[in-house]
Amino acid sequence: MTRRIHIIINPASGENDLILNTLNDGLHDGDIEWDVTVTHEQGDGTRLARKAIERGDVDILAVYGGDGTLGEVAAALAGTDLPMMPFAGGTGNAFARSVDIPLELAKAVSILSDKDSYTIEAFDTCRVNDEYVFIVGGATGMVANTFSGPSRKTKDEMGMMAYPMALLQEMLDSKPLEYHLTIDDEEVTVSGVSCLVSNSGPFNLMGLSVMEKSDPRDGKVDVYMIEGDKAGMLLSALVDMTSINLPAKGVPHWRAEQVRIDCIPSEAGKFFFDGGITLDLPVDIRVDPASLRVVKPHKARLQAV
C-alpha cells in the first residue's frame, strides 16, 4: 500500500543543506508518495499542518525545522490521528533528540523510508493559556532571555555557540524576581532568576543537560526554579563543558499536571517556549496527555544507522 507523506519545511532552519535532494534520494524508491510545503512566517507551521489534516490522504506529516516549527505543527496535530515525524533542522533540536531521531537528515529519512524501521508512539503536549502548544519546554527570566536573545543571523553563523555569550550577558544583567507558582493545587512563592518547565528532554543549555530527562509520556511536566545563588552553576558548567543535574544541586523541583507562573511585577516576566514564542506573565500551562502521535525509530534500526 502506498504511504503518503507530506513534509513541511522551514527554509530558515538548518545550515544551507540540500534538503530536497536528500529527501528525494531517500524517498524516491518504494511505496512512498511525498510532497512539500514551505513556511514563510510565524504560524505557518500550524496553518500548513491543518491543511494537511483537511486533505485526508496524508499518512505521516514530516517536519524539517527547529523546535519552534515542530511546536507549531504539534499545535495542529494534537488530538488527531495524524502522526508527526520530526527532522532535525534547528539549532538545538531538543525534541528530535528526545525521541531518538538521527540529527543527520539522510539518516532520519532512511528510517522514514522503511515502514518496518519505526513505530508510532503517543506523547504529551502542553497547552499554554489554552491557545498555544509546546512539546519541549519553556523558561522565564535569565534562561528565556538566553534562548530568545540571539538573532537568526547569529545562530546561522555560530550554531549552538550563539548562546554562551547571551548567557554570560544575562548572568550579569539578571536580578531575582518574586515568583508566585501554582503547582496543581499548591501555592508556592519563591525568589529566583529563572523558572524552567520541561515536558521532554533533558532540558539542554548549549548542549549541556541541566536537569534529569523529562518523560513526555507521564502526563506531567517538571518545574524548576533557579534561585539567584544557583545561577553560577550554569556558568561553571559552561566553562567546564560538563552537564549538571539541578535537582541534585538543591534546586527546587516539582512535577505537575497544571502550572501557573506569575511574578512581581508581572510586566517584568516573560515565558519563552519551544524556540519561538514569548508570552507575558502570568501563563497557565496544562498537560494534554498522549495527545500527539510521533514517529520513533526502533532501537535496532537506530543502531544500524
* Sequence-ordered list of residues with C-beta below 8 angstroms from that of 223, at least 6 positions apart, any chain: 181, 183, 195, 196, 197, 198, 253, 254, 255, 256, 259
pTM above 0.75, yes or no: yes
Question: Residue 204: beta bridge partners?
Answer: 209
pLDDT of residue 204 exceeding 60, the answer is: no
E strands, 135-176, in order: 137-140
CATH code for the domain in which residue 159 is found: 2.60.200.40
State whether 7 and 51 are in the same domain: yes
CATH code for the domain in which residue 32 is found: 3.40.50.10330
Residue scoring higher pLDDT (201 or 129): 129
State whether 91 and 206 are in the same domain: no
State whether 150 and 114 are in the same domain: no
Nearest by Cα to 104 from 64, 70, 132, 71: 64
State how many domains the chain has.
2
Distance CA(262)–CA(253), nearest Å, equals: 17
Q: How far is CA 87 from the centre of its chain?
A: 12
Nearest by Cα to 220 from 201, 198, 248: 198
pLDDT of residue 152 exceeding 60, the answer is: yes
State whether 116 and 173 are in the same domain: no
- Average pLDDT over every residue of 95-110: 92
Peptide bond just before 11 cis, omega within 30 deg: no
User: Burial level of 57, CB count in 10 A (0-12/13-18/19+)?
Assistant: exposed
Domain that holds residue 9: 3-125+290-304
Are 258 and 287 in contact, with CB atoms under 8 Å apart? yes
- Average pLDDT over every residue of 135-164: 73
State whether 141 and 273 are in the same domain: yes
Residue scoring higher pLDDT (231 or 123): 123
Question: Which position has the grid cell 554562551?
Answer: 164
Which pLDDT does position 155 carry in this prediction?
A: 62
Question: Residue 292: beta bridge partners?
Answer: 123
- Average pLDDT over every residue of 124-135: 94
Q: What percent of the chain clears pLDDT 70, i.e. is strictly above it?
A: 76
State whether 155 and 271 are in the same domain: yes
Are 96 and 270 in contact, with CB atoms under 8 Å apart? no
Which pLDDT does position 205 carry in this prediction?
A: 55
- Average pLDDT over every residue of 154-169: 65
State whether 105 and 171 are in the same domain: no
Nearest by Cα to 201 from 247, 135, 292: 135
Task: State the first-to-last Cα distance of the chain, in angstroms, to the nearest integer.
Answer: 25
Which pLDDT does position 16 carry in this prediction?
A: 60
Question: Residue 250: beta bridge partners?
Answer: none
Peptide bond just before 86 cis, omega within 30 deg: no
How many alpha carbons lie under 13 Å from residue 224 in its C-beta half-sphere? 27
* Sequence-ordered list of residues with C-beta below 8 angstroms from that of 125, at least 6 positions apart, any chain: 74, 75, 78, 133, 134, 135, 199, 287, 288, 291, 292
* Sequence-ordered list of residues with C-beta below 8 angstroms from that of 145, at least 6 positions apart, any chain: 166, 170, 174, 270, 272
State whether 27 and 146 are in the same domain: no
Confidence of residue 176 (pLDDT cuts 50, 70, 90): confident
Distance CA(158)–CA(144), nearest Å, equals: 19
pLDDT of residue 129 exceeding 50, the answer is: yes
Supply the mean pLDDT for the chain. Answer: 84
**Among 23-32, 77-86, 115-124, 295-304, where is mean pLDDT lowest?**
295-304
- Average pLDDT over every residue of 55-71: 95
Which pLDDT does position 241 carry in this prediction?
A: 46
State whether 198 and 276 are in the same domain: yes
